[in-house]
Amino acid sequence: MSSVSYGFGKTVTCSFDEAIERVKHALSEEGFGILSDIDVAGALKKKLGETMPPYRILGACNPLLAHRALQAEPEIGLLLPCNVVARQDAAGVVHIDVIEPTVMFELVEKPDLAALAEEVSKRLKCALNAV
């Protein structure tokens, strides 16, 4: 599993479209719904005329966990939903990258949210492993 300091991810051996479907299904199995689906490559093509490999940002939200977070910190909506990126590189390899909630929630500076962030992280990692 690859990672950056603010997320984690992996490469998959399937088509981009199949990866999107696998990600959505895996997230659903962990209680997440998709609130947004941004086609970055399509938007850049339309607005700038620039071409790039497929790149989509899925906004994933687990309603139960989001509700708990919002009750503890109403402004946490600024950090929601959890972004999941599906991208294809120039060589055609498909990558799935996920925000690390524990890092994101550190911005809030409320230690009581740490356990919730860990739970969200665990579920997102389970979903990624299932892709």
Q: Where are the domains of the chain?
A: 2-130
On the question of pLDDT at 2 being above 90, the answer is no
* b/e burial code for range 14-28 (CB count within 10 A of at least 16 → b): eebeebbebbbebbe
pTM of the predicted model as reported, rounded to 2 decimal places: 0.94
pLDDT of residue 122: 98
116 is written with which tokens? 């919730």
CATH class of 2-130: alpha beta
pLDDT band at 111 (very low <50, low <70, confident <90, very high): confident
DSSP strand E in the chain: where?
2-4, 7-12, 33-39, 55-61, 82-88, 94-99
Q: With CA atoms as reference, report the closest residue to 16 among 99, 100, 85, 98.
A: 85
